[in-house]
């Protein structure tokens, strides 16, 4: 009797057969999952690129929604080392003669020299004041030192007037008191009283002599007094400039109310020597913003066109070809660009009247620089009226785009939906792998059982063959 035979040691290559069967069962569902993953990844990438273009376009719009930038003024200063000048849109173009007469100074006074920071200064109360505020400190046995007085001043409740420090010199340690407010309004006044609150007598001419008991009168000061205990190191002084013959003082070095829309910051004084400051209209910055806006729009329009187009020659479709969100976005932008702006200047209420036109074939915007320059020259406020303000072009278009952009916009929502889909597909792939493991185990069990059966049948066949041969 012929034996039952097949390839392999026992007739069946179990592993190979199981692998092929499992692979055959896995192929179709795995291909479906891979196809869905590829489409989702492609769309997610496309929506990411589209959202990036929308964000860049909105940023360009935001910069246009600023009348100060669109209708800017530039300044030319004859002596920039003496004064810095800025001009807002309220400034009238013109030329001014300016001289910086003085700079603001912060008042500073100092005590006589003490033997050290732990030297006694006397007990009682010191009151510090300027034109607007005052505060007091009490010196007693717990803080009766130069360092203790310094710390008491700096930590005093309500001290917005001055700061104290200790400076060491050849003649000893000095308490230096510096006003926190520049100008005459920050001029310091220091009065001294004993522990009972009674005013301390003035120091004798020349101050204390060695051996005299310390007294807080060593720190007293009043402008113009001949009996001061402290010495004036830096006099309080207002800044003063002259513009076209008109004098103006300030406790700081800044002047914002001399010429409307023009701010002056004094840097260096040169009394009596004037120089020119010119304020002119500056259209270059606004024009640059318009050019940036056009570039950002063209990038967005190009992205939309590429993502939603279909190439009949190559039969290749864009990643978002036929996508309703992308088509709606393109339509919204197109409509906004072609809508006139109410309240804009005459003959400057549409993009085309500003010299910004649309290429009918590509959809891209182009800027007619000559036309735009002419408009800015004849109507310097026209661009600001068109682009800026609550009812301006920039605000209106940005409002129309808000439903698409941002973390809660349609594009973000679509992207999040795709990310959720990809997570679900990972779960599906894991489930497929688990199911295939079960199928592989089942097939292995079945074919191993078959292999064992074949082994047994072959043994029986050999036995029967041997028995039949012995009978012959």
Same domain, 341 and 414: yes
Q: Under 8 Å CB-to-CB from 56, ≥6 apart: which residues?
A: 296, 299, 300
Same domain, 309 and 370: yes
Query: Please, are residues 143 and 128 in contact by the beta-carbon 8 Å criterion?
Result: no
Query: Please, are residues 414 and 46 in contact by the beta-carbon 8 Å criterion?
Result: no
Q: Which of 91-95, 159-163, 182-186, 264-268 has the lowest mean pLDDT?
A: 91-95
- Digit-coded pLDDT (tens) for 262-287: 999 999 999 999 999 999 887 778 88
Rounded Cα distance, 84 and 268, in Å: 10
Residue 131: DSSP 8-state: S
Read off the pLDDT of each residue in 255-263 and give the average, rounded to a whole number: 94
Q: How many domains does the chain have?
A: 3
What's the mean per-residue pLDDT of the chain? 87
Read off the pLDDT of each residue in 437-459 and give the average, rounded to a whole number: 76
Same domain, 36 and 161: no
Read off the pLDDT of each residue in 117-121 and give the average, rounded to a whole number: 95
Same domain, 152 and 24: no
Confidence of residue 321 (pLDDT cuts 50, 70, 90): confident
Query: Please, are residues 159 and 208 in contact by the beta-carbon 8 Å criterion?
Result: no
Same domain, 216 and 173: yes
Same domain, 350 and 387: yes
Same domain, 289 and 275: no
> Counting beta carbons within 10 angstroms of the beta carbon of residue 275, is it exposed (0 to 12), middle (13 to 18) or buried (19 or more)?
middle
> Counting beta carbons within 10 angstroms of the beta carbon of residue 45, is it exposed (0 to 12), middle (13 to 18) or buried (19 or more)?
middle
Q: Please state whether the predicted TM-score (pTM) of the whole model is above 0.75.
A: no
Same domain, 323 and 204: no
Residue 226: which domain range?
106-234
**pLDDT attached to residue 388:** 84
Read off the pLDDT of each residue in 59-72 and give the average, rounded to a whole number: 82
Confidence of residue 124 (pLDDT cuts 50, 70, 90): very high
Rounded Cα distance, 406 and 428, in Å: 31
Same domain, 59 and 134: no
Q: What DSSP string runs through 222-266?
A: -TT-S--SSEEEE--B-EEEEETTEEEEESSSEEEEEETTEEEEE
- Digit-coded pLDDT (tens) for 332-373: 988 888 888 887 877 888 889 888 999 888 889 999 988 888
Rounded Cα distance, 403 and 409, in Å: 5
Query: Please, are residues 214 and 122 in contact by the beta-carbon 8 Å criterion?
Result: yes
Tokens 């039969």, residue located: 315
Q: Under 8 Å CB-to-CB from 354, ≥6 apart: which residues?
A: 290, 348, 371, 372, 375, 382, 383, 386
């Amino acid at each position: 009797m012929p034996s039952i035979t097949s390839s392999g040691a026992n007739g069946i290559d179990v592993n190979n057969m199981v692998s092929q069967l499992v692979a055959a069962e896995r192929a179709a569902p795995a291909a479906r999952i891979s196809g869905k993953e590829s489409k989702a990844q492609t769309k997610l990438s496309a929506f990411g690129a589209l959202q990036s273009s929308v964000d860049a376009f909105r940023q360009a719009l935001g910069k246009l929604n600023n009348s100060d930038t669109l209708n800017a003024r530039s300044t030319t200063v004859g002596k920039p080392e003496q004064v810095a000048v800025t001009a807002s849109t309220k400034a009238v173009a013109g030329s001014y003669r300016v001289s910086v007469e003085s700079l603001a100074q912060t008042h500073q006074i100092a005590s006589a020299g003490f033997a050290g920071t732990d030297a006694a200064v006397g007990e009682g109360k010191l009151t510090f004041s300027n034109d607007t505020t005052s505060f007091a400190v009490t010196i007693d046995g717990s803080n009766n030192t130069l360092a203790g007085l310094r710390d008491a001043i700096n930590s005093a409740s309500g001290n917005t007037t001055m700061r104290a420090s200790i400076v060491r010199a050849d003649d000893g340690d000095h308490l230096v008191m510096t006003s926190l407010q520049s100008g005459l309004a920050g001029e310091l006044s220091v009065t001294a009283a004993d522990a009972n609150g009674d005013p301390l007598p003035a120091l004798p001419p020349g101050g204390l002599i060695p051996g005299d008991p310390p007294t807080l009168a060593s720190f007293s000061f009043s402008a113009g007094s001949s009996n001061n205990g402290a010495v004036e190191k830096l006099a309080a002084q207002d800044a003063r400039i002259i513009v076209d013959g008109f004098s103006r003082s300030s406790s700081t070095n800044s002047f914002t109310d001399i010429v409307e829309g023009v701010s002056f910051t004094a840097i260096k004084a040169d009394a009596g020597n004037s120089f020119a400051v010119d304020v002119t209209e500056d259209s270059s910055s606004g024009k640059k913003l318009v050019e940036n806006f056009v570039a950002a729009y063209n990038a967005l329009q190009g992205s939309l066109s590429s993502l939603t187009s279909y190439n009949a020659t190559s039969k290749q479709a864009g990643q978002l070809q036929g996508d309703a969100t992308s088509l709606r976005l393109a339509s919204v932008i197109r409509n906004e660009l072609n809508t006139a702006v109410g309240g804009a200047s005459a003959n400057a209420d549409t993009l085309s009247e500003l010299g910004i036109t649309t290429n009918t074939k590509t959809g891209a915007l182009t800027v007619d620089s000559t036309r735009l320059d002419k408009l800015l020259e004849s109507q310097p406020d026209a661009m600001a009226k068109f682009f800026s303000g609550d009812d301006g072009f920039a605000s209106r278009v940005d409002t129309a785009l808000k439903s698409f952009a941002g973390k809660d916009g349609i594009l973000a929502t679509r992207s999040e939906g795709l990310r959720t889909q990809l997570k679900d597909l990972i779960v599906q792939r894991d489930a497929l792998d688990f199911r295939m493991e079960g199928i592989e185990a089942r097939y292995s069990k079945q074919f191993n059982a078959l292999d064992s059966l074949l082994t047994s049948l072959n043994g029986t066949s050999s036995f029967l063959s041997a028995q039949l041969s012995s009978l012959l």
